[in-house]
């Protein structure tokens, strides 16, 4: 009886015969095994609401059931038949496969709006939180910047303590100390951010390639998270220097000086982030920024004022954040306060300037504006240009974070 049951199972196309202990259904009944697998997958997929539905023909269910009832012997492709043809069941199975695999006219395949599992806002918020925690844990990075600049600026304040600006030498010394202390903050921030950005860059590559986070929220998060730290660094380090040197002791002048310090520092930091994303190694990035600094100083307008720059190099002055720093931060330190007007009609501060062959008595603010080609009224416009430079550098940083991959080089 058992032998009769096994024979009956092998002669039928149901699941009992295909699961015989001594027979592989993929060999004895390949079409039935294939159709049964597709049928089971279709049923499982149809019952899952999270997955897109399979648009099968209306008679596909009946074709599945008909093939399941077909004996295995009629499903096998008989090579020995005349003309090398196939059985009717095999031809029916081929027709069914073609019918299922061929889309109907106008039908669209299922697709996703984004390759990422979460929205842009969710990605940005997650990376912001993670970057914030990373900054809090990286004590050496932030405390190192604050400590170095604080010691440096206190040293400047002691050297230039209560600077006298009643003569030409004193005015030039005030211009130099204001300029150098503003730019030093930017240089320290730029050199400090590059190793951090290069270290985080490998994480960004891995998560970008696995479609976990996009490169754009990664770059924006790092740019945004640096801003409060730059504000803190600029305020803490500028505070002792400002009053030790004897700059204008008013709240408006002090906070404007801090604002320019923040903008210049963030401009240099943004440039450093962009270079760190473009260069393949930290050594290459540091070499690039080392070349940028002297060029920025050369065309900044301090050592070579704008009127003395050759005409074919003056374009470098207008794209230079150092030049806008000079335009915005120097003139406010010589503003006319508590006086009736400029020399010679008023009693505002004036100096005796050497003109090569003679000496001239001139108003201090007029001397500074003429020598460095700046204006006191144009300080806010220079600040706007610094903001534009920051946005442009960060736009390049975001593009580099999304499209540049130094791993492939």
pLDDT at position 166 is: 84
Helix 321-329 and helix 251-278, axial crossing angle in degrees, nearest 10:
180
Q: Hey, is 366 helix, strand or coil?
A: helix
pLDDT at position 317 is: 87
pLDDT at position 78 is: 40
Rounded Cα gap, residues 10 and 34, in angstroms: 17
At 351, which helix (H) or strand (E)?
Answer: strand 350-354
Residue whose pair of structure tokens reads 């603010």 in the numeric block: 365
What phi, psi does 354 have (nearest 5°)?
-90, 125
pLDDT at position 43 is: 56
**Cβ(270)–Cβ(394) under 8 Å?**
yes
What phi, psi does 381 have (nearest 5°)?
-65, -35
Query: Is-cis flag, bond preceding 59, omega within 30?
Result: no
Helix 30-47 and helix 88-101, axial crossing angle in degrees, nearest 10:
30
For the chain (409 residues), the mean pLDDT of every run of 10, in chain order, is 47 44 56 61 52 48 57 47 55 76 70 77 91 88 90 90 86 88 89 89 82 87 92 92 89 91 93 90 88 87 82 87 89 83 81 81 86 87 93 92 75
What integer best gives the mean pLDDT of the chain? 79
Structure tokens, 218 = 């990664």
Helix, strand and coil in the chain, % to nearest 5: 70, 0, 30
What phi, psi does 243 have (nearest 5°)?
-90, -20
**pLDDT tens column, 41-87:** 555 545 545 444 444 444 555 555 555 555 555 544 443 444 444 56
pLDDT at position 378 is: 87
pTM confidence score? 0.70
Residues paired with residue 361 on neighbouring β-strands, in sequence order:
352
Rounded Cα gap, residues 40 and 26, in angstroms: 16
Rounded Cα gap, residues 303 and 172, in angstroms: 11
pLDDT at position 377 is: 87
pLDDT at position 68 is: 57
Which of 61, 86, 64, 62 lies closest to 74 in space, CA to CA?
Answer: 86
């Amino acid at each position: 009886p058992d032998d009769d049951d096994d024979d009956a199972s092998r002669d039928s196309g149901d699941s009992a015969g295909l699961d015989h202990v001594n027979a592989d259904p993929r060999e004895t009944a390949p079409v039935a095994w294939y159709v049964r697998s597709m049928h089971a997958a279709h049923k499982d997929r149809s019952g899952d609401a999270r997955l897109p539905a399979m648009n099968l023909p209306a008679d596909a269910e009946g074709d599945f059931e008909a093939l399941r009832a077909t004996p295995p012997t009629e499903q096998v492709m008989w090579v020995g038949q005349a003309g090398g043809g196939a059985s009717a069941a095999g031809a029916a199975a081929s027709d069914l496969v073609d019918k299922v695999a061929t889309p109907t006219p106008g039908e669209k395949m299922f697709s996703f709006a984004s390759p990422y599992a979460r929205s842009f806002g969710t990605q940005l918020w997650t990376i912001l939180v993670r970057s914030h925690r990373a900054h809090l844990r990286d004590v050496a990075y932030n405390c190192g910047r604050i400590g170095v600049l604080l010691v440096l600026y206190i040293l400047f304040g002691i050297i230039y303590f209560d600077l006298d600006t009643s003569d030409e030498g004193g005015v030039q010394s005030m211009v130099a100390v204001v300029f150098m202390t503003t730019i030093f903050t930017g240089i320290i921030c730029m050199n400090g951010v590059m190793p951090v950005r290069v270290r985080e860059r490998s994480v960004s590559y891995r998560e970008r390639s696995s479609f976990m986070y996009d490169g754009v929220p990664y770059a924006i998060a790092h740019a945004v998270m640096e801003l409060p730290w730059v504000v803190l660094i600029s305020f803490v380090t500028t505070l002792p220097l400002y009053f030790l040197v004897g700059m204008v002791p008013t709240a408006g002048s002090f906070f404007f000086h801090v604002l320019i310090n923040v903008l210049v520092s963030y401009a240099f930091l943004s440039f450093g982030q962009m270079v760190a994303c473009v260069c393949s190694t930290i050594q290459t990035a540091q070499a690039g920024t080392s070349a940028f600094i002297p060029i920025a100083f050369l065309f900044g307008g301090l050592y070579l004022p704008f009127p003395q720059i050759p005409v074919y190099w003056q374009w470098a002055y207008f794209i230079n954040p150092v030049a806008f720093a000079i335009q915005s931060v120097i003139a406010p330190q010589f503003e006319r306060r508590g006086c009736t007007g400029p020399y010679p009609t008023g009693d505002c501060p004036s100096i005796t300037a050497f003109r090569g062959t003679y000496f001239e008595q001139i108003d201090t603010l007029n001397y500074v504006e003429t020598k460095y080609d700046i204006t006191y009224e144009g300080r806010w416009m220079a600040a706007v240009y610094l903001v534009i430079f920051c946005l442009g550098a960060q736009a390049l940083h975001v593009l580099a974070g999304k499209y540049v991959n130094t791993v492939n080089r």
